A and B are shown apart, each in its own frame.
Chain A
């Protein structure tokens, strides 16, 4: 019973992803790869924000740590990507513990701005520590992933890697969601004091959620580095962090399917709007605003709302007092 939902999600990703991949032309496959990589990162963000309610505007920094970790280990140290990947992920997780302990004492806006500061600092350090990161020139010539003599390069082959990774991450996330740990995280999100009263170690739960989110970010970062085979500070700015958060909100916060749908939509949307020429970013912003105003529960919520249309329930009464008065 407990295994059914995770397996269904994993199977759906592989089957649907495979079907889409067989009809898409090469260029769209590239975007599809990037969506899958973003989806891994956004599922990670869902641990921190969707489940535990930690607003992170520094997620891209963890994606960047994974990507730079892999890039540095493979180019400067000559490691195989298969070895560099776990090393980069473990290093990112360790950094997340170090950063999380002091930072997670903060909540709400304060945590948001602190993580934003973290992301800006990451950008400044990666663009200026030229000895380690190559500065704004970035790191090029990252080796490709290969099994024996079979190189996993090219959009088609890489998509297999990306989809399998996404399926595994999504299945694990679904298992966590249904587990005691997932429920603990959601309890902490909904009421911290009440969770503490019933014996949940709030600090431990928050750190766990934060580190899990950083691990997924690092996996996405490694995939990104291996896909593009070039990393630069511009790929991991706080604007990217906000995009990850927007993907989660647009898809539907707190759900794995929402995270994936949001990642796909916001990766493809700029392409679909390309016919608008130079005004496409303007419309991108307008569309995002409209989704937030008219679909506050995201794409997943839209589906749910359509199904529930017959037995409509009134929305929960909201309190008009701004949050800051608490």
Chain B
């Protein structure tokens, strides 16, 4: 039982990171229709923004986290201008290949700046554990779950209680109508990329202490985020959260109770199963494109 609780918390922590990555992916997808294959590299950049501010610049915790997220926000705006605007009229596949190309650029830019040797990103809650009925649980894992819950609450407020967030939802629903209603559509589209980059930044900062900060960490995260969005429901924010937690739990529990070699096959198998049986996922609504 103690083992199970320990695995449960670890699964939820890693699942929270996937959920944040998936939320960023979904926000961009519903606002702009872009399937961002560089989403995993966004998280990797978040981790390395932390490496720059925490390890290289040795800033205090709060300043370092703030600076790292500011870097990510800038990066999101830059991505909007240099990648989204030129490619937005392309076909689905052009955008897929385009974001893959950007992912290659990002990964190699990181490789050239930081080298292939992994970094150990510290955490303010490091090395402290709590004993919960015999289960040794790291406070960092608990912190990750807590921060994710706060972020989700913040997003809910943003999308339901602020005019900016409601405008973003309007753009996602019907771009032409939003434009006719006098919304500054381009600014809102840019904001969705900035938001996605910042969420990826938070995910990266929290993931750094759990994995190592490695320039190749992007692809596995992207694949998990894709699986999470399909399972939860493409384009649905609650779906991204549930899907992310599910993928994290299936990975950690599957590795210890089923097979560590095939742990990833569980989430992808379930993803394909969902696509075949319930393509709208847990929360999505039926749309023709979904099959």
Contacts and interface: CB of A to CB of B under 8 A. Distances in A.
Interface of A: 49, 55, 57, 102-103, 105-110, 112-114, 116-118, 120-121, 124-125, 128, 239, 242, 245-246, 249, 253, 278-279, 281-282, 284-286, 288-289, 292-293, 296, 318, 320-326
A2 B227 CA distance: 46
Nearest to A323: B33
A239 B216 CA distance: 13
A120 B268 contact: yes
Interface string B17-38: 0000000000001101111010
Given A113-B226, A124-B264, A105 B32 contact: no
B90 interface: yes
B133 interface: no
Nearest to B230: A113
A120 B220 CA distance: 10
A109 B104 contact: no
A120 B33 contact: no
Interface centre among B93, B104, B269, B287 (most CB of A within 10 A): B93
B214 to A, nearest CB: 16
Interface residues of B, number: 56
B272 A118 contact: yes
A53 to B, nearest CB: 9
Nearest to B171: A322
A288 B102 CA distance: 9
Interface centre among B97, B111, B268 (most CB of A within 10 A): B97
Interface string B215-245: 0000100010011001000110000000000
Contacts of A323: 33, 92, 289
A188 to B, nearest CB: 15
Contact of B87 (A125, A242, A293): A293
A282 B112 contact: yes
Interface centre among A107, A108, A117, A282 (most CB of B within 10 A): A117
15 contacts: A55-B93, A57-B96, A110-B234, A114-B275, A116-B223, A117-B226, A246-B97, A285-B108, A286-B101, A286-B105, A289-B83, A292-B97, A320-B89, A320-B176, A323-B33
**Which secondary structure characterizes the binding site on chain A?**
helix
Contacts of B33: 322-325
A321 B35 contact: no
Contact of B268 (A117, A281, A321): A117
Contacts of B83: 289
B120 interface: no
Contact of A289 (B93, B105, B107): B105
Given A106-B290, A321-B175, A322-B33, A242 B97 contact: yes
Contacts of A120: 223, 264, 268
Nearest to B264: A124
A116 B225 CA distance: 13
Contacts of A110: 230, 234, 275, 279, 289-291
Contacts of A113: 35, 226, 230, 271, 275
A297 B272 CA distance: 32
B226 A292 contact: no
Interface string B253-284: 00000000110110011011001100100000
Given A105-B276, A114-B272, A121-B265, A292 B105 contact: no
A281 B108 CA distance: 7
B94 interface: yes
B272 A108 contact: no
Nearest to A282: B108
Contacts of A117: 226-227, 268, 271-272, 275
A326 B175 CA distance: 12
A249 to B, nearest CB: 5
Given A55-B92, A118-B272, A125 B265 contact: yes
A244 B100 CA distance: 13
B127 interface: no
A13 B287 CA distance: 44
B105 to A, nearest CB: 4
B77 to A, nearest CB: 18
A271 to B, nearest CB: 17
Nearest to A324: B33
A55 B96 contact: yes
B269 A121 contact: yes
A284 B35 contact: no
Contact of B291 (A105, A282, A324): A105
A320 B175 contact: yes
Given A128-B262, A279-B112, A325-B174, A109 B92 contact: yes
A249 B90 CA distance: 11
B167 interface: no
B107 to A, nearest CB: 8
